[in-house]
Amino acid sequence: MKKITLAFAALLLFSSGCGWLYQSGAAENGTDLSDSEIYVNDFSYTNQHEETVTNEELEGEYWVANMVFSRCPTVCNIMTPNMASLQGDLETEGLDTTLVSFTVDPEFDDPEQLQSYGESYNADFSSWHFLTGYEEEEIETLAEESFLSVVEPDQESGDIIHSTQFYLVDPEGQVIRQYDGLEDDTEPILEDIGAVQS
């Protein structure tokens, strides 16, 4: 019953088009999700260096997550540069925050492909994991249950429908805020992270 309710809620929250999802209601300064009590599911995936990354390793720190894929012809070409800008600004502000990008195309995006993809955006891999090493069904479930989001193939375009949000996760693994990943203004995220880390 819970899964059905979450799936229905996700469908209400999202509108689709061009192989991606834009979550309505994500104000420029972010949307508070702390009352929703959404927690990231347990996971053990592989990053661009073929290292295992788990949710347990991220416990005790704030981290920012999103969903992309290297063959994405549309929104990922905006989201990933925005995440790279966020990484640079976090470093400038002295805010120690890990970034996690889950690929929604795990069959194609192996570690080597994701390393090449990250390098093309000058990602600093010391604090940014590009994760793969799971089946398509696993990322669909993770998106639905952990981020109230949807991952599914777009049969008409051959694209993959996925969220365009950035998600702030707290040290207990709760998703507490979301931001428009197509927005290049990093200040709202920096302010929120600075506030919770102070």
Is residue 162 a contact partner of residue 104, using CB atoms and an 8 Å limit? Answer: yes
76 labeled binding residue? yes
Copy the structure tokens of residue 21. 């999802």
Amino acid letter, residue 147: F
> Which amino acid is residue 114, in one-letter code?
L
Exposure b/e, 47-69, CB count within 10 A at least 16 = b: bbeeeebebeebeeebbbbbbbb
Task: State the residue for tokens 């600004």.
Answer: 89
Q: Of 79, 56, 78, 82, which Cα lies nearest the Cα of 67?
A: 79
**72 annotated as a binding-site residue:** yes
141: helix, strand or coil: helix
Annotated binding-site residue? 18? no
For 2-14, the DSSP string reads HHHHHHHHHHHHE
- Residues in binding site: 72, 76, 162
- Residues in binding site for Cu cation: 72, 76, 162
